[in-house]
Amino acid sequence: MYPLNRNRRLRSSTAIRALVRETQLSNNDFIVPLFIVEGKDIKKEIISMPDYFQLSINNAEKEVKELWDIGIKAVLLFVKVEDNLKDNKGSEALNKNGLMQRAIKSIKNIVPEMLVMTDVALDPYSSYGHDGIVENSKILNDPTLDVLSKMSISHAYAGADFVAPSDMMDGRVLKIRQALEKEGFIDTGIMSYGVKYSSSLYGPFRDALDSSPGFGDKNTYQMDFANSNEALNEVNKDIEEGADIIMVKPGLPYIDILNSLSKKFDIPFAVYQVSGEYSMLKSAVSKGFLDYDKIVLEQLFSFKRAGASMIATYHAKEAVKLLNKI
C-alpha cells in the first residue's frame, strides 16, 4: 500500500534496474538468416531490405567468420535459385552440388562450430513459387513430403546441423524425422516452422529470393492470421512428429501466440522477426521517425520476454554491437 510500496524504488537507478531485470538478451540468442546467390564476390543490397545483402558463397564465408567472432552461433541459410533450374517438383533442391549444398559445406568448412540451419521448402526452387508441388492450381500435400524428406537428407549429407521445414505441409516433420533416422542422421535436428502465418510481411524476402507465388497466395497451407487455437494444434502435432524446436513466424504481430505457446509447451520456441518487420523498422528509421538503436533492442527484448528461446533476425549483428555497449 502506498506509501509503504513505491514501485519506482526498483527503477530508481541503472544498478537496481539491472538487478531486477527479468529478461536477458545476448549474442547467444540469435540466428542469422543468410541469402546465398551464385557467383563470386557478390554482396548485393536487397532493395526492400536496406543494409541487408545477398551474398555469394565466398562472401558468406567471410560473413560467417565475422558472426562467429562476435559470438553468434547459428545461421539459417536460404538460396536464390537461377530461373532455368526451377521446375514444379523442385528437382534442383536435391542436387548434391546445388547452391545450398555447396553453401552448407563451405560454411561448415570455414567455421565448423557454427550451427548451420537450412530452409526446407520448395518455393525458391518452384517454377510456381509455391512451397509444394502444384497440380490443377492446387498445392499437393503428400507428394511434396517425399521431396522435402529427400531435400532434408541432402542437406544433412552436406553437413547441416538442423533442417528447418518452412512449407506448412501436413505431416512433414514425421516424414523428415523418419527419413533422417533411416539414413543414420540421428543427431540432425528439426526446427519446424510449425506456426507460420500467411503474412504480407514476407514480401521483401520474396523479392530477395525471387520466390513470390506465381499464382494465388499461400492461404491453403499457411495459417490464417485471425486464428490462435489452431496454433496449439500445430504445435501438438509437431512435437508428436519429432520436432526439436518450433518456430513462430512472423514475430511482433504474433507475440500473443508466442507467449501463450511458450507457457503451454516445454519445447524451445524460436521466433522469426521477418523481412517485412525489418523493412518497416528501417524505413521509419531512415525518415528519422524512430531511433534505430533503441527500437531494435526493445523489440528483441520483447521476444525474449514473451518466451522465445531464440530469435531469427536480420538485426542480429547490430544488436550484438548494441548489447556490448549496455
Nearest to 69 by CA among 41, 25, 32, 23: 32
Cell 526451377 identifies what position?
86
Query: For residue 284, which amino acid is it?
Result: A
Q: What part of residues 166-185 is at the interface with ligand PBG (CB under 6 A)?
A: 166-167
Q: What is the nearest approach in angstroms of ligand PBG to the Cβ of residue 89?
A: 16
Would you say 108 or 249 has its CB closer to ligand PBG? 249
**Distances, alpha carbon 205 to alpha carbons 51, 85, 194, in Å:** 14, 20, 19
Among 271, 274, 300, 308, binds ligand PBG (CB under 6 A): 274
Cα radius of gyration (the chain): 20
* CA distance from start to end of the chain: 34
Among 192, 262, 275, 302, binds ligand PBG (CB under 6 A): 275
Among 125, 205, 254, 301, binds ligand PBG (CB under 6 A): 205
DSSP state of 196: E
Among 43, 44, 105, 206, binds ligand PBG (CB under 6 A): 206
Q: What is the nearest approach in angstroms of ligand PBG to the Cβ of residue 242?
A: 20
Say if residues 100 and 79 touch (Cβ distance below 8 Å): yes
Is 119 a binding residue for ligand PBG by CB under 6 A? The answer is: yes
Q: What backbone torsions phi and psi does residue 262 show, to the nearest 5 degrees? A: -70, -25
Q: What is the nearest approach in angstroms of ligand PBG to the Cβ of residue 289?
A: 22
DSSP state of 197: B
* From 89, 108, 249, 317, the catalytic residue: 249
Q: Which residues, other chains included, contact 259 with Cβ-Cβ below 8 Å and sequence gap of 6+? A: 306, 307
Residues contacting ligand PBG: total by CB under 6 A:
12
Would you say 101 or 313 has its CB closer to ligand PBG? 313
Is 63 a binding residue for ligand PBG by CB under 6 A? The answer is: no
Q: What part of residues 147-166 is at the interface with ligand PBG (CB under 6 A)?
A: 166
CA atoms within 13 A on the CB side of 176: 37
Q: Which residues would be at the binding site for ligand PBG (CB under 6 A)?
A: 119, 121, 123, 131, 166-167, 202, 205-206, 218, 274-275
Active site residues: 196, 249
